[in-house]
Amino acid sequence: MGYIREEDKKYLRSEFEKNLQEEVKLLVFTGDRCQYCGVAVAIAKEVAELHSLIKFEEHKIDGKLAQEYGLDHAPTVVITDGEKYGGRIRYVGLPSGYEFSSLIEDIIDVSRRTAEVSPEVKEKLMTIDKPVKIQIFVTPTCPYCPRAVRTAHRFAILNENITGEMIEAVEFPEWANKWNVMSVPHIVINEDVQFIGAYPDEQYIEYVLQAYKKLR
């Protein structure tokens, strides 16, 4: 028996059938002594089996590709076209619970090679020409968190300088403690600018710009 229920699979198949356009790679980076790696692989495989445009690959967290993408925690799930998106759209820890919906929406956006952002926000977003890393600490039982994750991932899809990294705080408590995470979503940009809450794009982009301006 798999992790995803049959009726959910049926629904996902129809969503993918309607929305997928180009190939999407679902990469899972695994390591030794990793409690949830097996589950992450199993879930990714189940998702990939739902549509021929979704390709599953397993990689080692201490391998070459992980190094190229700058990954060091397992499991990490990356959604990519294998080219311009690189390893910038990612989940550290299991994308379960509410984050499973983020994963599915990311697969669809990456397959469409675009994401929806208003023209005003996009204009601001496209001024960013240096690397900005947005980390979003979440818990799987937080209904507000996917919005914060998806905003970062949508920004990353549109601007190749941006990396959006979800971090499952319950799975990586020491990492969460480092940033005193006590409420989620807790967003850390370039290990500097922080805010808490699921804000609309218009406010979110201002925090991203604040972090970006410190780079100049």
Q: Contacts with another protein: how many residues (CB under 8 A)?
A: 47
Choose the stretch contacting another protein; rule: CB under 8 A; options: 23-31, 62-70, 78-86, 195-203.
195-203
Signed CA dihedral, 79, 151, 169, 66: sign only: positive
Binding mask 22-61 toward another protein (x if CB under 8 A, else -) reads --------------x--x---x------------------
Choose the stretch contacting another protein; rule: CB under 8 A; options: 5-13, 59-67, 80-88, 205-213.
5-13
* CA 151/CA 106 separation, integer angstroms: 10
- 209 in contact with another protein (CB under 8 A): no
* CA 77/CA 87 separation, integer angstroms: 9
Kindly provide the b/e burial profile for residues 27-54, where b requires at least 16 CB atoms within 10 angstroms of the residue's own CB.
bbbbbeeeebbeebbebbebbbebbebb
Signed CA dihedral, 156, 39, 168, 183: sign only: positive
CB of 128 to another protein, least distance (A): 21
- 111 in contact with another protein (CB under 8 A): no
Residue 133 or 186 having the CB closest to another protein: 186
Choose the stretch contacting another protein; rule: CB under 8 A; options: 52-60, 75-83, 100-108, 157-165.
100-108
CB 166 within 8 A of CB 156: no
Tokens of 115: 């994401």
Site residues for another protein, 129-158, by CB under 8 A, read: 139-147, 150
- Tokens 């049959």 belong to 6
Looking at the DSSP bridge assignments, the partners of residue 76 are 29, 92
Binding site for another protein (CB under 8 A): 3-5, 7-8, 11-12, 15, 36, 39, 43, 94, 96-98, 100-102, 104-105, 108, 116, 118, 139-147, 150, 169-170, 176, 180-184, 186, 196-198, 200-201
